[in-house]
């Protein structure tokens, strides 16, 4: 699925990377994910967009995190999407992903002990806020009350503490108010839709937006080597100290999923939604080709 349906026209006007996502049908197959990512990169190159300007979005399942690590070693940059928990973020860092995209709407509990977070974590907002009326919930103080805010905040602080080069770029954002709440958590980038950008154009800016802007990561040029650490390098963070999330086919990440029913459910739901949208897109294209 393309990040932008008219990417060839848009490409001359951007300075960063273009993004494309591997099929949800490959999410639980390391080899299929690798092959689809390579196919996408080859398609970009055929149309004059070099590998150095491409980033492949890949759902952060155990199988696909292993694929991310392999692709990064080939020089194909990756973004771990469908990300709901700190273990997934740590695995993405160890895999060398350029980005992680934790979903703000579509949240889940994560495996860090108090005092970082306290219960309850359940019955949280779903990715379906983008498709089903009545699912989205508004909070009085989004940065403090939204159930995904502390998860993203913890990932940001975790990466800062271990010196990770993987960048945090939250996604699944519904309103300008959510954008302002996320900015206060100090992620590296945000994924914004046109509708949210329109809201921001008329939104009142809080005081913290008057601060000097954060450096735009000049240490990560387009041609940079794969980010992150080798899979065998231990990390020093509560609940993940010494855990190698990639060894033995990402067995530790698989265990983290098994211990966290909400993250597992939300991953399955996200992949189901993406799969449905992918099939509808194919049906639309088939009909157009027959016309």
Give the model's pLDDT for residue 201: 86
- Per-residue pLDDT, 35: 98
pTM over 0.85: no
**pLDDT confidence of residue 6:** 63
pLDDT confidence of residue 144:
87
- Given a cut of 50, the residues of the chain with pLDDT beneath it are 1-5, 107-131, 133, 215-220, 222-238
Q: What pLDDT, on the 0 to 100 scale, is given for residue 137?
A: 73
Q: What are φ and ψ of residue 247, in 5° steps?
A: -70, 155
Domain boundaries along the sequence of the chain: 6-110+124-201+241-275
Of 224, 99, 101, the closest CA to residue 164 belongs to 99
- The CATH architecture of the domain made up of 6-110+124-201+241-275 is Alpha-Beta Barrel (3.20)
Place of tokens 């990402």: 250
pLDDT digits (tens, 9 = 90+) for 27-78: 999 999 999 999 999 999 999 999 999 999 999 999 999 999 999 999 999 9
CA 197 to chain centre: 19
Reply yes or no: is the peptide bond before residue 120 cis, omega within 30 of 0.
yes
Maximum pairwise Cα distance, the chain = 60
Question: What integer pLDDT is reported at residue 154 of this predicted model?
Answer: 92
**What is the model's pLDDT at position 133?**
47
Concatenated DSSP letters for 63-111? HHHHHHHHHHHTT-EEEEEEE-SHHHHHHHHHHT-SEEEEBSSS----S
pLDDT at 212: 55
**Could you tell me how far CA 257 lies from the centroid of its own chain?**
17
Q: How far is CA 51 from CA 6, 42, 55, 129, 216, in A?
A: 18, 8, 8, 34, 21
The pLDDT score that the predictor gives to residue 93 is 97
């Amino acid at each position: 699925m393309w990040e932008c349906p008219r990417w060839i026209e848009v490409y001359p006007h951007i300075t960063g990377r273009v993004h494309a996502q591997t099929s949800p049908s490959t999410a639980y197959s390391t080899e299929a994910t690798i092959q689809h990512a390579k196919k996408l990169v080859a398609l970009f190159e055929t149309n004059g967009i070099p590998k150095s300007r491409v980033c492949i979005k890949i759902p952060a399942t155990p199988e696909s995190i292993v694929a991310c690590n392999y692709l990064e070693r080939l020089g194909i940059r990756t973004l771990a999407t469908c990300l709901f928990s700190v273990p997934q973020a740590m695995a993405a860092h160890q895999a060398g992903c350029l980005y992680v995209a934790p979903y703000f709407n579509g949240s889940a509990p994560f495996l860090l002990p108090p005092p970082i977070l306290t219960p309850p974590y359940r019955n949280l907002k779903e990715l379906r806020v983008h498709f089903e009326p009545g699912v989205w919930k508004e909070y009085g103080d989004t940065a403090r009350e939204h159930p995904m805010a502390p998860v993203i905040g913890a990932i940001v602080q975790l990466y800062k503490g271990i010196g990770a080069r993987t960048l945090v770029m939250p996604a699944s954002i519904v309103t300008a108010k959510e954008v302002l709440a996320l900015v206060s958590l100090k992620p590296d980038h945000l994924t914004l839709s046109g509708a949210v950008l329109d809201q921001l154009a008329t939104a009142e800016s809080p005081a913290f937006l008057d601060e000097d802007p954060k450096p735009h990561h000049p240490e990560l040029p387009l041609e940079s080597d794969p980010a992150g650490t080798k899979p065998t390098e231990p990390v020093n963070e509560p609940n993940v100290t010494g855990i190698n999330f990639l060894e033995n086919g990402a067995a530790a990440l698989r265990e983290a999923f098994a211990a966290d029913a909400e993250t597992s459910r939300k991953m399955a739901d996200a992949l189901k939604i993406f799969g449905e949208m992918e099939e509808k897109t194919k049906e639309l294209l088939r009909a157009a080709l027959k016309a």
